[in-house]
């Protein structure tokens, strides 16, 4: 690609006015292969137009989460929440990404207490006082994805459950604060893991965050454990999720054999998760969905 060619990012601008300086910086960085350091591939770098689509997808996704937030209470069944989120997304021109994703049967995931993630909404699942509930929603808008989840405490919950929910949120926030352009992916997991362990909790390793935007789950896999300065280089234009799953007990998880989806802790201890979709910017991060 020469200076006057159109940039590889699809912006329609000349390379010299677009990603030339970016590429020079990217290629000048010496990678330490012993730390697993790698450069991101160009396909996961989004241009301004793509970022704007993901931003709009995120706005719809946030609205769907707000809709659930307004309705969630003791005695409500989780299918009613699923249907309300579905309706909100469709009304705003989006598509619920989970529906039919690899055969997933509903539009959102609702995961209660010892359920870590991918809980399937059901008319038979009634929320009750004391439950801690993760609601995870992903929207597709004009083909672009945004993915976020929040915890809800149903009525009054035990101090231990409340603490788990709070620390899991802090883990996500610290993971996001660890994201800096031209630094490494492993910084996220290092920050999350340190905070969880400080409070006696474990971090799920079998599932993690992910690149998101042009598809639901793209490169890189985002571990919530790890070491600083390891893994993929983070650069402006990358969009990813930070979504630590924090267990009160041990880190191991199992998937329900009957439905093929519901992930619970192996030891049946309670688990909490928060998720945001973030954009890596020149100066730090921008939240795309939360």
Binding site for ligand MF3 (CB under 6 A): 98, 101-102, 104, 109, 118, 136, 138, 147, 241, 243, 261, 275
98 binds, among Co ion, ligand MF3, none (CB under 5 to 8 A by kind): ligand MF3
CB of 193 to ligand MF3, least distance (A): 19
Q: Which of 67, 78, 241, 265 binds Co ion (CB under 5 A)?
A: 241
Q: Are 92 and 221 in contact (CB under 8 A)?
A: no
CB of 18 to ligand MF3, least distance (A): 31
Give whichever of 161 and 288 is closer to Co ion, judged by the CB atom: 288
Provide CB contacts within 8 A for 216, sequence distance 6+: 97, 101, 138, 145, 147
Q: Are 239 and 213 in contact (CB under 8 A)?
A: yes
Q: Are 144 and 117 in contact (CB under 8 A)?
A: no
Give whichever of 37 and 139 is closer to ligand MF3, judged by the CB atom: 139
Q: Please provide the DSSP assignment of 148-160 as one string.
A: EEEEEE-SS--HH
Give whichever of 19 and 210 is closer to ligand MF3, judged by the CB atom: 210
- d(CA 61, CA 144) in angstroms, rounded, equals 11
CB of 148 to ligand MF3, least distance (A): 8
Q: Which of 147, 170, 187, 218 binds Co ion (CB under 5 A)?
A: 147
62 binds, among Co ion, ligand MF3, none (CB under 5 to 8 A by kind): none
Measure CA of the first residue to CA of the last residue in the chain; give whole Å: 37
Q: Are 255 and 206 in contact (CB under 8 A)?
A: no
CB of 75 to ligand MF3, least distance (A): 25
Q: Are 144 and 214 in contact (CB under 8 A)?
A: yes
Give whichever of 62 and 243 is closer to ligand MF3, judged by the CB atom: 243
CB of 109 to Co ion, least distance (A): 7
For the chain, give percent helix, strand, coil, nearest 5.
30, 25, 45
Which chain residues interact with Co ion by CB under 5 A?
Answer: 136, 147, 241, 275
């Amino acid at each position: 690609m020469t200076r006057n060619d159109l940039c590889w990012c699809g912006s329609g601008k000349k390379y010299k006015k677009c990603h030339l300086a970016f590429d020079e910086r990217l290629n000048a960085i010496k990678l330490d292969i012993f730390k697993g350091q790698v450069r991101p591939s160009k396909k996961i770098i989004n241009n301004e137009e793509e970022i704007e689509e993901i931003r709009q997808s995120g706005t719809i996704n946030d609205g769907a989460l707000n809709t659930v937030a307004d309705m969630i209470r003791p005695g409500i069944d989780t299918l009613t929440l699923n249907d309300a989120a579905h309706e909100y997304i469709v009304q705003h021109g989006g598509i619920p990404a989970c529906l039919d994703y690899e055969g997933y049967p509903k539009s959102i995931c609702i995961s209660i207490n010892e359920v870590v993630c991918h809980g399937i909404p059901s008319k038979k699942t009634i929320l009750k006082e004391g439950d801690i509930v993760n609601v995870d929603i992903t929207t597709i808008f004009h083909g672009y994805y945004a993915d976020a989840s929040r915890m809800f405490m149903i009525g009054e919950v035990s101090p231990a459950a409340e603490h788990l929910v709070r620390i899991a949120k802090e883990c996500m926030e610290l993971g996001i604060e660890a994201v800096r352009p031209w630094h490494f992916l492993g910084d996220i997991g290092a920050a999350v893991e340190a905070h969880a362990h400080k409070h006696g909790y474990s971090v799920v390793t079998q599932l993690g965050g992910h690149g998101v935007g042009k598809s639901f789950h793209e490169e890189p896999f985002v571990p919530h454990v790890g070491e600083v300065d390891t893994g993929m280089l983070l650069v402006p234009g990358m969009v990813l999720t930070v979504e630590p799953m924090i267990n009160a007990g041990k880190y191991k998880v199992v998937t329900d054999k009957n439905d093929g989806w519901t992930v619970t802790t192996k030891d049946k201890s309670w688990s909490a998760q928060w998720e945001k979709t973030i954009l890596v910017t020149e100066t730090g991060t921008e939240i795309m969905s939360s």
